[in-house]
Amino acid sequence: MTLESLSGAMTIALLSTLLFMLVAGAWQTLSRATSGNNRFSHSILYEAAQRFRDQFDSLTRRQSVYLASLLVFVVIFTTAFLLGPDRLFQGLAEWQLIALLVCALLAALYGLYRFVVVVLQKKKVEFIRDANIATGHGLQRLTSNQNRVFHDVPCATGVIDNVIVGLHGIYAICVVAKRPGKDNRVRLNGEQLAFAPGKAVISVADCGKRAEQLAREMKKMLGHEVRVRPVVAVPGWEIDAQASDEYLVVNERSLAMLRGWKDQKDYLMNEEVEQIQKMLTERCTRYKRKQ
């Protein structure tokens, strides 16, 4: 084993791997750009946890590229080393060969680091996705009284995970995805969710702000005030304190409780329900922005 052979094989393998990653990345970009161009595009709405599904799929593709790149690197490095590319760097000084080898090793280590980051991100997104899917599927049981459930609803202040619209009112459901421990109790204190044993605290103010913004947008369309009630879903946790004047806190099993959280001001007319559902359908058409 000579320094020339090692540096040459490492350089050839690294350049070939980079070329492979560029081609794979370009192909994935082209595939995403052309997705949704079919006759059913206008009829496909967001599913539960759609943005997290898409993020998980993107991370999966990136992970596949890294794994395939590792295989390409190993195969080409082995092949190049066995063929003995001594002549490629025959005229270089020893320190130049060492510098070249160090740069190649640093690039390989950076690629390994990015792969580990993608794996960890994928694991995190997978939990968030599953928590949102469990909540979205639980909401499907509430589709009575002309109720319809919309997922990943955009508004001016962000994205609302789920929105239910029916004759008995409008509910904006925001999902807080946090891994439960042995003591899986959570309590609502004002606008703060306090998770047992009391060290972790998460604000739910953004949920209220998005619900208020959606109500303003619906008011602009209908010409009168409407109420959008903010609901916080915490899948996997047991709720100690469930409701306040502004928020209702539920888990994936107690979503039915929001049926009882209403008063006379929440009721809507048939025509209003149809208008609001039409507006949300247009917003939640998945491929609209790609047309």
Task: Identify the DSSP state of 167.
Answer: T
Give CA separation, 83 vs 7, 9, 69, 73, 88, in Å. 13, 9, 21, 15, 12
Query: Taking 60 as the threshold, does the pLDDT of residue 196 lie above it?
Result: yes
**What pLDDT score was predicted for residue 269?**
92
Give the C-alpha separation, 184 to 179, whole Å: 9
Per-residue pLDDT band for 231 (boundaries 50, 70, 90) equals very high
* 267 pLDDT more than 80: yes
Instruction: Give me the mean pLDDT over the 191-213 stretch.
Output: 88
Percentage with pLDDT > 70 across the chain: 87
pLDDT for the residue numbered 250: 92
Strand-pairing partners, residue 195, are 186, 200
Instruction: Report angle CA 112, 114, 15 to the nearest 5 degrees.
Output: 65
Higher pLDDT, 191 or 243: 191
Single-letter amino acid, residue 91: G
CB atoms within 10 A of CB 189: 10
pTM: 0.77
Domain range annotation of the chain: 3-136, 143-290
Q: Is the pLDDT assigned to residue 276 strictly greater than 50?
A: yes
- When mean pLDDT is compared across 12-26, 50-64, 144-158, 202-216, the lowest value belongs to 12-26
DSSP state of 285: B
Rounded percentage of the chain residues whose pLDDT exceeds 90: 37
Asked if the model's pLDDT at residue 291 lies above 50, the reply is no
What mean pLDDT, rounded, does the chain reach? 84
